[in-house]
Chain A
Amino acid sequence: MNVYTPILILGILAFGFAAFSVLTASLTGPKRYNRAKVDAYECGIDPTPQPEGGGRFPVKYYLTAMLFIVFDIEIVFLYPWAVAFDRLAFFGFCEMVVFIITVLVVYAYVWRRRGLEWD
């Protein structure tokens, strides 16, 4: 059996369990309609009207997501290097120091441009 097949079987079991519970809950629970109950919950005040098409998110979240991608790709480059470190020897170390320095330049730039500030 392939090493990835057990994951598929566990996934099927977990998905089946989750789907089963979600479906059963809609059968076992009572249903009493109430107009106020199906409104969006806002501590009892009238719900805020929802903007068309989902509205706009603060740009900070996009910025965080982009920075995440930049640094995550850096990590992905570090992983194979770390695994093969002993074989790469001194050359590999020097190469990675150069790579990390370039990443640190980017990091310092983002920091200076206040990309890491939240407010």
Chain B
Amino acid sequence: MTSNQFGLFGTDPWWLVLLKVLAIFVILVLLTLFTIWWERRVVSRMQNRIGPNRVGPQGLLQSLMDGIKLALKEEVIPRTAHLAVYWIAPVISATMAFLAFAVIPFGPTVSIFGVKTPLQLTDFPVSVLYVLAIASIGIYGIVLAGWSSGSPYPLLGGLRSSAQVISYEIAMGLSFVAVFLYAGSMSTSEIVAAQQPVWFAVILLPSFLIYVTSMVGETNRAPFDLPEAEGELVGGFHTEYSSLKFALFFLAEYINMVTVSALATTLFLGGWRAPWPLSVWASANSGWWPMLWWLVKVQLFIFFFIWLRGTLPRLRYDQFMKLGWKLLIPISIVWIVIVAGARTLRDQSATSSSRDTLFIAAGVILLAAVLSLVASSRADKRKTQADEARATVAEYQVDAGGFPVPPLPGQQAVLTSRRDSAVGTTIIQQRIDNQENADG
């Protein structure tokens, strides 16, 4: 084995590498088109609608047609845009989204045209670190898009997005530590192999939950989709993008969704290995079947994303940052110490009781998390009540000057009777009359 090889990786002939690269590219594009359609259909069902069902069977070709339509649309480039950066930002976003997929394992070693090769483009001893690095470069696309548009909404969206992604990257990075500790490796194929008897999602449940939370924050998806909060920021960082440039951002978002789902599958759900009832069947973990198990697991995560979007309202930005910095990070750190301690105990005493210790610790830490959430929400409520009690109730009318005005902090809405609001309406009517008189 030469120094630039890693197991069977790095031994593929050039045509096989090209084949795999093409396959990954096609799979990602198809998965994106499918996921957009699937999301629209599922969200529609959740909202008592039908969703796109006209183009192709069950509307399956809808996203493809949307892509073609976008290609035929006019490109509107704002006058204030910084052109070079404005053009390169979507390219960075899309390229990095594709690149992160290079180290995801799809299946075991198979034989393609007589060459034995693993179903994975490449792998090296630090491949999970590589995924994190590529994900970080992807943020440049978002931040540069926001900045180069020369417009306030995209700028705010881009800044928010970068602050959000880097905040959740810490929790995400910490959740990996326990996995590396158990697998003894940072290579994706070895992590899959290390989950042979039991998935890491079972023995490292807190890590799994922290990863799942932070992967939603990392991909800017609901309920953490603050960078694109339509009500406050219009479209977020891609407000000023149109035509295929916009399509590239869209593509990048969905590929990132697939990537984080695939990473979750690889690190916590046993990768391409068959789940329990299927693993009884001897050939479930050989040949091409594992690709199916892999796809099913990834689709489960994608459905989870869609489910979240259909169910939860968006968080406020300070709540969101609080969750990341004040809850996920301390819990991950404490959990890492517990896992390391349990493992040391096992190595020292050589008994099998470490798993029980781990389960008990996981229960305790989850309980502590829930309790701290409840306590902090209680404290918030008490604080608000104290603020309200302290604030002097200022004189305030709901429809001052004929226009309804929301109460400011410290003010309390005075209930107006029907007759008073009618007076308000009359004032508006009078103003309109005055205006017309002035015009006439």
Which residues in A have some Cβ–Cβ distance to B below 8 Å?
1-7, 9-11, 13-15, 17-19, 21-22, 24-26, 28-32, 37-43, 47-48, 50, 54, 57, 60-61, 64-65, 67-68, 71-72, 75, 78-79, 82-86, 89-90, 93, 96-97, 100, 103-104, 107, 111, 116-119
Residue of A nearest to B94 (CB): A18
Q: Which residues of A contact B70 (CB under 8 A)?
A: 25
Residue of B nearest to A103 (CB): B333
Nearest CB of chain B from residue A36's CB, rounded to whole Å: 11
Take A21-B244, A21-B247, A85-B343 as given contacts and tell me if A10 and B326 are in contact as well, using a CB distance cutoff of 8 Å: no
Indicate the member of A2, A60, A61 with the most B CB atoms within 10 Å.
A2
Question: Interface digits, B10-48 against A, CB 8 Å rule (1 contact, 0 not)?
Answer: 111110011011101100000000000000000000000
Q: Does B359 interact with chain A (Cβ within 8 Å)? A: no
Nearest CB of chain B from residue A33's CB, rounded to whole Å: 10
Q: Check if B122 sits within 8 Å of A6, measured CB to CB.
A: yes
Q: Check if B9 sits within 8 Å of A3, measured CB to CB.
A: yes
Select A118's contact among B14, B79, B321, beta carbons within 8 Å.
B321
Q: In the complex, what distance in Å separates the CA atom of A22 from the CA atom of B322?
A: 38
Beyond contacts A1-B14, A29-B71, A40-B78: 5 other A-B pairs, Cβ-Cβ < 8 A, are A68-B167, A75-B177, A82-B180, A83-B186, A93-B344
Q: Does B5 interact with chain A (Cβ within 8 Å)? A: yes
Main secondary structure of the interface of A (DSSP, over half): helix
Q: Check if A64 sits within 8 Å of B167, measured CB to CB.
A: yes
Q: Which residues of A contact B153 (CB under 8 A)?
A: 41-42
Interchain Cβ contacts under 8 Å between A and B, 20 examples: A1-B14, A2-B4, A3-B123, A7-B102, A9-B21, A10-B98, A13-B98, A18-B248, A29-B73, A38-B76, A38-B77, A40-B78, A40-B79, A40-B151, A50-B150, A65-B162, A65-B163, A78-B336, A79-B129, A82-B181
Take A3-B6, A85-B343 as given contacts and tell me if A40 and B240 are in contact as well, using a CB distance cutoff of 8 Å: yes
Main secondary structure of the interface of B (DSSP, over half): helix
Take A42-B152, A83-B186, A86-B347 as given contacts and tell me if A65 and B80 are in contact as well, using a CB distance cutoff of 8 Å: no
Q: In the complex, what distance in Å separates the CA atom of A24 from the CA atom of B73?
A: 11
Interface size in chain B (residues, C-beta < 8 A): 90
Nearest CB of chain A from residue B103's CB, rounded to whole Å: 8
Q: Check if A25 sits within 8 Å of B244, measured CB to CB.
A: yes
Q: Check if A40 sits within 8 Å of B25, measured CB to CB.
A: no
Q: Does B185 interact with chain A (Cβ within 8 Å)? A: yes
Q: Does B387 interact with chain A (Cβ within 8 Å)? A: no
Q: Check if B318 sits within 8 Å of A119, measured CB to CB.
A: yes
Residue of A nearest to B124 (CB): A3
Q: Check if A6 sits within 8 Å of B344, measured CB to CB.
A: no
Q: Check if B247 sits within 8 Å of A40, measured CB to CB.
A: no
Nearest CB of chain A from residue B66's CB, rounded to whole Å: 14
Q: Which residues of A contact B152 (CB under 8 A)?
A: 40, 42, 48
Nearest CB of chain A from residue B251's CB, rounded to whole Å: 9
Q: In the complex, what distance in Å separates the CA atom of A42 from the CA atom of B233?
A: 10
Q: In the complex, what distance in Å separates the CA atom of A21 from the CA atom of B379?
A: 52
Q: Check if A6 sits within 8 Å of B102, measured CB to CB.
A: yes
Nearest CB of chain B from residue A38's CB, rounded to whole Å: 5
Q: Check if B78 sits within 8 Å of A41, measured CB to CB.
A: yes
Q: In the complex, what distance in Å separates the CA atom of A116 from the CA atom of B91?
A: 33
Q: Check if B347 sits within 8 Å of A89, measured CB to CB.
A: yes
Q: In the complex, what distance in Å separates the CA atom of A103 from the CA atom of B174?
A: 13
Q: In the complex, what distance in Å separates the CA atom of A111 from the CA atom of B176?
A: 24
Q: In the complex, what distance in Å separates the CA atom of A11 from the CA atom of B134?
A: 11
